[in-house]
A = this chain, B = another copy of it.
């Protein structure tokens, strides 16, 4: 069990030390969402309609871009080798790393989203649903993303590969996430969407650590 402690402590320490890595993701999220009004023009009605979609796409892209960092540094400097030959369960290590990844990328996005939502004129219940959907959805993005990140470790142009691999897997999350807000504004109620997101989260929590562990073993052959 203490391995979890050490992995989390180490990764948090590194995240603090490389603060700008965390900021990159957050900042990217802010940029994406703020550029849109500049690109599509200032009509409030239009902006309100596309707001939830833009925020969700932004969160998705921001997470996707941060995936490269999840294992790359550990791979390049040999720490990952040490983790593989360490006596503890690899799935546990993986899970700890994903948790820190989410704390450093997903959580800030969630905290930031109400503010950005306001910029698009999303308010009240809709804003609450948006934040909640992100809170449930971003951990799934981190978990599923870990599979892509581990499979492409050390490959030429890992970047595009990660995107290619995880994108199709992200789409259900995006649809339920952005859909939740629309459902709540159109009066259907967001309950269904949010429960589905929760189900996805549980599924991902159960299935991904093992998959990632074997992917890591494959990649470090």
A interface list, Cβ under 8 A from B: 17-21, 23-24, 27-28, 31-32, 35-36, 38-41, 46, 49-50, 52-54, 56-57, 60-61, 65, 155-161, 163-164, 167, 171, 174-175, 178, 182
Do A39 and B163 contact each other (CB < 8 Å), given the known contacts A20-B156, A157-B19? no
A41 touches B182 (CB 8 A): yes
A40 touches B54 (CB 8 A): yes
Q: Given the complex of chains A and B, what is the CA–CA distance between A33 and B60 in angstroms? A: 13
Residues of the B chain whose Cβ atoms lie less than 8 Å from the Cβ of A65: 65
Residues of the B chain whose Cβ atoms lie less than 8 Å from the Cβ of A24: 157, 159-160, 163
Residues of the B chain whose Cβ atoms lie less than 8 Å from the Cβ of A56: 39
Q: Given the complex of chains A and B, what is the CA–CA distance between A163 and B52 in angstroms? A: 23
Residues of the B chain whose Cβ atoms lie less than 8 Å from the Cβ of A52: 39-40
Residue of B nearest to A23 (CB): B160
Residue of B nearest to A40 (CB): B53
Residue of B nearest to A43 (CB): B49
Q: Given the complex of chains A and B, what is the CA–CA distance between A164 and B26 in angstroms? A: 12
Q: Given the complex of chains A and B, what is the CA–CA distance between A53 and B43 in angstroms? A: 13
Partner of A46, one of B27, B46, B160: B46
A157 touches B60 (CB 8 A): no
Do A175 and B38 contact each other (CB < 8 Å), given the known contacts A157-B19, A160-B28? yes
